Structure 1
Amino acid sequence: MDWRWRELISLIILCILWSKPICIQGNTDPTDASALRVLYTSLNSPSQLTQWNANGDDPCGQSWKGITCSGSRVTEINLSGLGLSGSLGYQLGSMTSVTNLDVSNNNFGGEIVYNLPPNLKRLNLGRNNFNKGIPYSISMMTSLQYLNISHNQLQDPLMDVYGQLTSLSILDLSFNAMSGNLPQSFSSLSGISSMYLQNNRFTGTIDVLATLPLDNLNVENNRFTGWIPEPLKNINLQKNGNSWNTGPAPPPPPGTPPATRRNRSHNPGGSPSNGSSSEGQKSGISGGAIAGIIISVLVVGAVVAFFLVRRRSKRPLTDIEKLDNQPLQPLKMTAAQETKSEDSSSTFYPTSFESSAAINLKPPPIDRHKSFDEDDFAKRAPVKKASAAAPINVKSYSIADLQMATGSFNVDNLLGEGSFGRVYRAEFDDGKVLAVKKINSSALPRELSEDFTDIVSKVSQLHHPNVTELVGYCSEHGQHLLVYEFHRNGSLYDVLHLSLSDEYNKPLIWNLRVKIALGTARALEYLHEVCSPSIVHRNIKSANILLDAELSPHLSDSGLESFIPNADQAMDGSGSSGYTAPEVTMSGQYTLKSDVYSFGVVMLELLTGRKPFDSSRPRSEQSLVRWATPQLHDIDALTKMVDPELKGLYPVKSISRFADVIALCVQTEPEFRPPMSEVVEALVRLVQRANMSKRTYGNDNATSPRGEMGGEDTP
């Protein structure tokens, strides 16, 4: 019997050994598999992706085309040159082991997806048709070494959010139509070796690149001005097709240390500076030279300080106190420039903006106030307020232009009326349709009127896919108007609460409501956590959330409440009552957390279909927050609260998680409300889970206000 048992045991072991590779082969991480299924569907299930399957759960074991794995995790996605179109889906952000994503040489267009693998080392989006800016999620990829978005159709200025990309070695943004100045955060790209910016519309100087350890730099065919920094003349620099200044560059301000490139450890020598000897290159600057430099700086500084103190001593005491109480300005001025023009600081930051120009020790994310070279500033005569710097990258319209486009501001073209003024539909001769906001004189009193172009300059620098874009302005004959992009589907308030014609009265399906909440949350996250200083919106409500043709949200009036602090706060026709955080009612002080509260109220509107305050309802139900908050964690009560227009077509778990986010946002104590980045993360997780309940709740029967996207199962 013993030999039989031994034979049986041997047979069992043999079976286990034979079956083990099969078990391992089918062990792709479920999160990665789910993300690739979403990607496949978003790409319209292309036939060229062999082995891919909308229901497949083992991309690694089934050798899906372009997919590389390590163990159970997907590490590379290479889909270059396959003629793909569609989108990259919304779930790539969950693929935390992917380090290489290459979708170059395809036919992708529109917006670059926000949710990209967060731990990428290489990202290649080149040679596509992307045209809607770079998502700031890329700026948080601290492991990124190679970034290529060349040969697309990107037009927007770069946001100033790249300070964390210290591992980036190669950056290629060439052959787009990007505009604006280079962001200050480029100076933090301490690992950069090659940068390709050619064939864009960049303006300003390239001074921000002076200290980078670059070996290769191509800035050809842009609109750069100023002088080429000396350190960049010693590298492989391609610079033709710009408007460089000729002649010697102006000397730096007294006490400014000489600009030197930050050399990489593998290239310690670098090129000798002009006038240095070979001995100096080998042994460094001598101690005597250092002492001489220090003494020179001290002497010059003492002379400047003497005249500065003498000048200040002649001013009235009230003037000195006034200057001392002003916040530090991002536009830096030398001591000599300060004595040259006592009013120069107020030229760029009027005192009425002090609340939005807090002291900031890091470079501002967007150069909002500079429309000419800082080097050129020292040559100019003192600037009066009336000649404030013109806005950058926005068009100046005449009153005649806007009157023609709006039919002399005919009531038939009236889109709405808010606390800043009326908004009109404007159709121009070339067929372009825009929205014109005519600012009330009460919102912009006479003492701020001269600073209107500064306000426009600040607002024009806000660029985000979910923030309504400012495209122009008009300031003539005492009239002040802002020209924005036009969104054809009106406001979220209109869709949720107004009785529209039969063509437009179809309810938003649940997943579209989540999509609108997520897009609005991302807009607020951008204002709160990307802009520096942070921007408090102060007027978050459904009437300020505009929907485009695809029903994507765009937050309007962003920055206006901060930049026009004396604006009329009167409630408009849609009603601001019900959105205001308790602490604002008590103190009148708006903060980031009061924006979070107002956003929570908007989410309640999306959940219930009710107005924030409705006097037509019983007294206990008039305040939406007061009525809904106690019921948010009771699933039975919650299902009764849901907008009846949804007709039960929603996942119960989804509305429960949605309600959990609402409960956090509308807490009475502001310190307990989450930052918007956490709200975004929660809503992204909710969207990702929505794929698991696909086709379960009959969403194919629901429709959107325009009959579009009604069959989608995920936002």
Structure 2
Amino acid sequence: MTWMDAFMSCFTGEDEKESEKMRKKKKKTAADGKRRPSSAEGKDGFKKRQSRLTDSGSPTFASDLSMSLGSMGSEICVFTTGELRSITNNFSSSYLLGEGGFGPVYKGFIDEKLRPGVLKAQTVAVKLLDLEGLQGHREWLAEVIYLGQLRHPHVVKLIGYCCEEEQRLLVYEFMARGSLENHLFKRFSISLPWASRLKIALGAAKGLAFLHGQKKPIIYRDFKASNILLDSDFKAKLSDFGLAKDGPEGEDTHVSTRVMGTHGYAAPEYVMTGHLTAKSDVYSFGVVLLELLTGLRAMDKKRPHRQQNLVEWAKPYLNDGRKVNRIMDPQLDGQYSIKGAQKAAALAGQCLAHNPKNRPPMSAVVETLEPLLELKDVPVTHFVYTVTQTNGKSEEKDAKPATKENGHTPHSRTGHHGHHEHREKSEEQDAKHGAKENGHSPHSRNGHHEHHGHRSRSPISEMKSKPLSNHSDGGHNKHSHSPKRRDRERKQ
């Protein structure tokens, strides 16, 4: 058992139900389930320091934490409350980036003079923890421990922390584009292009593969769109390790723990039994991949009843390449690789397998996603206009949305869900007209037409110009021939 195992075990408390195998193993190792101290550190000193770390109110807690992290080779900085007030302009509301379940997050600016030779001038994010409950302290401590050691291109960097009296703060690298959740689901956000979605999925997958590939796997346990942060180049990084947990070791197949996480993302076997494995993270990844494909939240009670649970609604389409187009985000406007979408959907289906054993490891997920970025079959958009004649002059106007062969017209995001209620009717149309070569669905979120270069029937031929007015003289001339006007002309 590593030092971190013992360190983490000291604050798991009653919410962690340990397996019988682990109990027997711990009895053999040590009566209290902690690592035997090395000869260099006194047995009593090691145990006392661990004991104090479980008590956030201990007067020596901050120094014990700093010493413990230093012994682990961590290079994170310890800030004072005054320093963090300074870099956030006294936690000014104008510096507020957002607020999550564990407290507000502020933008800050570190001057190179703050820690000469240690910290460079940089923008940071400062998270102020709400410590009304014990759980907040546990999660704060878990983040300090895990992120204090982990360094990877797809894991957010923890720069430092602050622990003074009741104050608990964390200082991270600043992620300029915020969370994936904001880009996918905010009403007025610009749609993420297909290439960016694949890049984000691949980056997040690499982050999970890194955690699972540790000597003792780390289970993230809270993989969701809001915990995937993006830098200025849309590079994805995992954040918020408050619920992370060491995976099983030796002959153990799982870790038994209280069910925590976010509804809609948690694996079904974990929700039912509390048994946690790395495959639980794989399931959660499948949910986020599905969100990237569809542009829909994992759970949304505002949608029609059958579509409120995204996984249950979309699963029947994932392994049929001819049907994948029906679940694709209409805001993509058809600008995505057909082969890439089909393979990504099939991968999502594998990750969402009900039996954990049938889900691929994250290393295999990475290998599947990487080639999809190289596919070049993304269609090119063509702008189509209708031309009408008025008073002998040609006027160009935006084309009307194409009408589907089954009578459906392009629709906005609000109509996106209703369209899928008619999938049975669409299947009948597919049977009559044959499978579409490119698999596109002729709908768009904003009502504009799409390019359907591979459809057997061109939407351009379906578009009709607006009919010319029957009154070529216009309304003004029609009014000039009224009886009153004729009487005035006679008098003159």
Same fold (TM over 0.5): yes
Deviations 1:150-184 (A, max 9, x none): xxxxxxxxxxxxxxxxxxxxxxxxxxxxxxxxxxx
Determine whether 1:698 maps to 2:403: no
TM-score normalised by the chain length of structure 2: 0.60
1:467 counterpart residue number: 155
- Corresponding residue for 1:438? 128
**What amino acid is aligned across from residue 221 of structure 2 in structure 1?**
R
The 5 A counterparts of 1:407-556 are 407-429=89-111, 432-442=122-132, 444=134, 452=141, 456-500=144-188, 505-529=189-213, 531-556=214-239
Counterpart for residue 578 of structure 1: 264
- Seen in structure 2, the aligned counterparts of structure 1 residues 386 and 624 have a Cα distance that, compared at 3 Å, is closer
Q: What amino acid maps onto 2:207 in structure 1?
A: A
- Which whole-Å CA distance do the structure 2 matches of 1:478 and 1:351 have between them? 14
Deviation at 1:663, TM superposition (A): 0.5
State the aligned residue count: 331
Report the TM-score, using the length of structure 1 for normalisation.
0.42
Task: Give the SS at the match of 2:293.
Answer: helix
Change in 2 beyond 3 A, CA 1:568/1:411: farther
On the 8 A contact 2:224/2:284 being kept in 1, the answer is yes
Q: 1:389 matched to which residue of 2?
A: 68
Structure 2 CA distance for partners of 1:446 and 1:508, relative to 1, 3 Å: closer
Q: Residues of 2 paired with 1:553 and 1:619: CA distance?
A: 32
Q: Which has the higher helix share?
A: 2
The answer on whether the counterparts of 2:259 and 2:274 sit within 8 Å (CA) in structure 1 is: no
Matches within 5 A, 1:352-371: none
CA positional deviation for 1:437: 1.5
Unaligned runs of 5+ in 2: 1-25, 55-62, 113-120, 247-254, 384-492
Deviates more, 1:506-515 or 1:388-397: 388-397
Q: Tell me, which stretches of 5 or more residues in structure 1 are unaligned?
A: 1-318, 353-383, 702-715
Contact 2:107 2:124 in 1 (8 A): yes
Matches within 5 A, 1:159-170: none
SS state of the match for residue 86, structure 2? helix
Check the 8 A contact 2:53/2:65 in 1, yes or no.
no
SS in 1 for 2:334: coil
Partner of 1:191: none
- Per-residue CA deviations over 1:25-82 (Å, capped at 9, x if unaligned) read xxxxxxxxxxxxxxxxxxxxxxxxxxxxxxxxxxxxxxxxxxxxxxxxxxxxxxxxxx
Say if 1:324 and 1:535 are closer, same or farther in 2 by CA, change over 3 A: same
The whole-number CA distance in structure 1 between the counterparts of 2:52 and 2:68 is: 12
- Give the superposition deviation at 1:614: 0.7
Q: Given the superposition, is the C-alpha separation of residues 607 and 435 from structure 1 closer, same or farther in structure 2, using an over 3 Å criterion?
A: same
Q: Select the structure with the greater relative contact order (CA < 8 A; seq sep ≥ 6).
A: 2
Aligned-pair CA distance for 1:423:
1.8
- Aligned pairs for 1:121-520 (under 5 A) are 323-326=30-33, 328=35, 333-334=38-39, 340-342=42-44, 344-345=46-47, 347=49, 385=64, 388-391=67-70, 392-429=74-111, 432-442=122-132, 444=134, 452=141, 456-500=144-188, 505-520=189-204
For residue 645 of structure 1, the aligned residue among 331, 355, 377 is 331
The reply to whether residue 609 of structure 1 matches residue 295 of structure 2 is: yes
Q: Check the 8 A contact 1:419/1:568 in 2, yes or no.
A: no
Post-superposition offset of 1:633: 1.7
Task: Note the C-alpha offset of 1:404.
Answer: 2.3
- Relative distance call for 1:346 and 1:604 in structure 2 (3 A) is farther
Q: Contact 1:326 / 1:351 at 8 angstroms: preserved in 2?
A: no
Mapped partners of 1:432, 1:499: distance in 2:
31
What is the alpha-carbon distance in structure 2 between the residues aligned to residue 410 and residue 541 of structure 1? 29
Going from structure 1 to structure 2, the CA distance change for 1:456 and 1:584 (only over 3 Å counts) comes to same
The answer to whether residue 363 in structure 2 is matched with residue 673 in structure 1 is no
Looking at structure 2, the residues matched to 649 and 386 of structure 1 have their Cα atoms a distance apart, in angstroms, of 51
Query: Is the CA contact (8 Å cut-off) linking 2:157 and 2:173 kept in structure 1?
Result: yes
Q: CA deviation at 1:401?
A: 1.5
Give the drift of 1:601.
Answer: 0.5
Distance apart, 1:642 and its partner CA:
0.2
Matched-pair contact (CA < 8 Å) for 1:466–1:519 = yes
SS at match of 1:687: helix
Deviation at 1:583, TM superposition (A): 1.4
Partner secondary structure for residue 289 of structure 2: helix
Q: Which amino acid aligns with 2:77?
A: K
Amino acid at match of 1:437: K
Please report how far the alpha carbon of residue 541 of structure 1 lies from its aligned counterpart in structure 2 after TM superposition: 0.4
* CA displacement, residues 262-303 of structure 1 (integer Å, 9 cap, x when unaligned): xxxxxxxxxxxxxxxxxxxxxxxxxxxxxxxxxxxxxxxxxx
1:446 & 1:602 partners in 2: Cα distance? 25
For 1:293-327, what per-residue CA distance to the aligned partner results, in whole angstroms no more than 9, with x for missing partners? xxxxxxxxxxxxxxxxxxxxxxxxxx999933515
Structure 2 letter corresponding to 1:424: Y
Between the aligned residues of both structures, percent identity stands at: 36
Partners of 2:178 and 2:381 lie apart in 1 by: 24
